Amino acid sequence: MNAFARPFDGVVAAARTCYSPKGIVTPEEVGGDAIADPVERERRRSRRDALARDVYLAGHHTTFQHAHFEFTLENVSRQLVWSFLHAHPFYNSEQTSQRYVEVKPGTFAVPPLTGEALEVYRAACDRQTEAYRRLGDLLVPIASRAFYGTFRGRESQPARWEKAIRKRALEVARYVLPVATFTTLYHTVSAVTLFRYRRLAETFDAPTEQRMVVDAMTEELLRHDPSYAAVLEEPIPLEETPEFTLASRLFARPLPDRPGDASFRERFDAGLGGRISRLVDRKARNEELLAEAVREVVGAAPESLSDDEAIALAIDPAANGLLGEALNLTDHGKLARALHHPAYTFRKRLSHTADSQDQRHRTTPASRPTLHAYLTDDPDYVIPMLLAEPGEAKTLYDETMERTWEAIRRLRSLGVPDEFRAYLLPNAVALRFTESADLAGLRHKLAMRLCFNAQEEIWRASLDEAEQVREVEPRIGRWLLPPCGLRARAGAKPVCPEGERFCGVLVWKKDLSDYRRLF
């Protein structure tokens, strides 16, 4: 959709500027635009390509990061987005929301299957999509009760809130959809990230689809600027990746001794102690470290700036007004930058659909699993709050999960590779992994996801994390708040920044221990 006008010439212009006694070297100079002699112009461009290759092979890749490329991707699977496009921090995306846009029948990726395998696969996807539609209808009354239980003054105008309630119902119904479901997105990356995509296109979890998409992106890149052919590398074959080597050894075992078996799941879940996200490690002196770092910014001694005062200057919006801004200014405020020193590690269990949002917080990285480990015989899934009570909707939900795993087992008996069977896993499939963050990244994520408008599963995980940090480090944890709490503390108006999307609860007046959500 969009790209720098002369991206490759700009690479070499930036590289040459580093050592140019005359200052800025322009892309036009590098490309030899002003040279009339075609032989001399070609000679200059050959020198350009040679220098670009030298810079690339030496690992000096910052020169390649200047140019960015904005792509639109249509009809790619949610699995591709979760496993590949959003599994790293170096991108920007805006994609169609399953929370707010109803999914239509037939909108799912179909792997290269034939015969009975293709029939089983399509039937399973159709069944999941039909269950999504039926659940959406069945959940409307349940969502309605929860909605009016929160917004008690709105029950007199049901027509006005009908769409909002329907969206809440579909938000939960989407848990039965397969990760093969299509999405559409804007996706912007630098040339360096695109190089990485190409090199690792054939990796778990979806190498076939990844290779198709990355080949198309590369083709667009070369159409825009063919000069990039001088540095492009071929993909590493799947068989040569370390993940494949490990999987070949571990997944060759027969069930139930394969990775991800019941004993692994039970041991992991027991370790959570009833939480979605459990704090399992942290730096031993987080509070003292933060206070010392703040004092170092201004050259203060403990006698003139106590630990409590220093910590507040970094993280209390009343003392540091930058934290009440709509922009995240943590990396630009000198005192707030001290928040990068404290650090935390959580072990967590989230559904695929909730983790697809959690991973968008790129400053809280995680070691997420390959979905091969979730292709065991037993259904293993998350149950959203609106489906906690027995009833017709819960029965349909559980039956859909059982039939989904039945289809996955059937595809295995038909010899279908794990890569393609994994597309049938539902959004609800439970993922288990470890996630770490420094305080700057954690604070920003919790400021977004403690909002009562956040998806309920990631909200519950965020509440777990805020509560545990506050328990062990109260001088830090007391300021891990939703946006309204931060804005109220900073004196910003309006307190809730969501406008018509206000959740209906005066959250900023409540203590963390009193946070409750109905849906």
Weakest mean pLDDT among 26-40, 117-131, 226-240: 26-40
Q: How would DSSP label each residue in 437-476?
A: EEHHHHHHHHHHHTSTTS-HHHHHHHHHHHHHHHHH-HHH
pLDDT digits (tens, 9 = 90+) for 365-377: 999 999 887 888 8
DSSP-derived secondary structure letter, 179:
T
Q: For position 158, what pLDDT does the model report?
A: 85
| Measured distance CA(377)–CA(36) in Å, rounded | 70
| Measured distance CA(98)–CA(83) in Å, rounded | 17
Q: CB-hemisphere CA count at 13 Å for 83?
A: 26
Weakest mean pLDDT among 220-229, 252-261, 434-443, 452-461: 252-261
Q: For residue 261, is pLDDT > 80?
A: no
CA angle 140, 143, 398 (to 5 degrees): 75
The token pair that represents 56 in the structure block = 């690339």
Q: For residue 254, is pLDDT > 70?
A: no
Weakest mean pLDDT among 136-150, 198-212, 450-464: 136-150
DSSP-derived secondary structure letter, 91:
-
Q: Is residue 30 part of a domain?
A: yes
Sheet containing 92-95: give its strands across: 2-3, 68-77, 182-190, 92-95
Q: For position 385, what pLDDT does the model report?
A: 92
Q: Is residue 151 part of a domain?
A: no
Q: Is residue 448 part of a domain?
A: no
Q: Is residue 429 part of a domain?
A: no
Q: For position 364, what pLDDT does the model report?
A: 98
Residues 6+ apart with CB under 8 A from 481: 446, 447, 450, 466, 489, 508, 512
Q: Is residue 31 part of a domain?
A: yes
Q: For residue 176, is pLDDT > 70?
A: yes
| Measured distance CA(378)–CA(454) in Å, rounded | 30
256: helix, strand or coil: coil
Q: For position 518, what pLDDT does the model report?
A: 75
CA angle 310, 314, 320 (to 5 degrees): 110
Q: Is residue 517 part of a domain?
A: no
pLDDT digits (tens, 9 = 90+) for 489-505: 999 999 999 988 888 88
The owner of tokens 């997944």 is 251
Q: What are phi and psi of 194, to 5 degrees?
A: -65, -35
Q: Is the dihedral of CA 505, 508, 514, 515 positive or negative?
A: positive
Residue 494: asked if its preceding bond is cis (omega within 30°), the reply is yes
pLDDT digits (tens, 9 = 90+) for 93-108: 999 998 889 999 999 9
Q: For position 248, what pLDDT does the model report?
A: 85
Q: For residue 150, is pLDDT > 90?
A: no
Q: What's the total number of domains in the chain?
A: 1
End-to-end CA distance of the chain: 38
Q: For position 259, what pLDDT does the model report?
A: 67
Mean pLDDT within 229-247 = 94
Q: Is residue 350 part of a domain?
A: no
Q: Is residue 22 part of a domain?
A: yes
Closest CA to 470 of 515, 517, 518: 515
pLDDT digits (tens, 9 = 90+) for 49-77: 999 999 999 999 999 999 999 999 999 99
Q: For position 330, what pLDDT does the model report?
A: 94
Mean pLDDT within 335-341 = 98
Q: For position 256, what pLDDT does the model report?
A: 58
The range of the structural domain enclosing residue 1 comes to 1-66
Q: Which residue has the higher pLDDT, 2 or 154?
A: 2
Q: What are phi and psi of 69, to 5 degrees?
A: -130, 125
Alpha helices in 151-190 (DSSP H): 158-173
| Measured distance CA(446)–CA(381) in Å, rounded | 24
Which residues partner with 71 through β-bridges? 187
Q: What is the mean pLDDT of the chain?
A: 94
Residues 6+ apart with CB under 8 A from 76: 85, 109, 182, 183, 184, 185, 209, 213
CA angle 193, 200, 420 (to 5 degrees): 125
| Measured distance CA(86)–CA(490) in Å, rounded | 33
Q: Percentage of residues in the chain with pLDDT exceeding 70?
A: 99
Q: For residue 329, is pLDDT > 80?
A: yes
Residues 6+ apart with CB under 8 A from 442: 344, 364, 465, 469, 480
Burial 277-298 (b: 16+ CB within 10 A, else e): bbbeebbeebbebbbebbbebe
366: helix, strand or coil: strand
Q: For position 386, what pLDDT does the model report?
A: 92
Mean pLDDT within 381-401 = 96
Q: CB-hemisphere CA count at 13 Å for 25?
A: 19
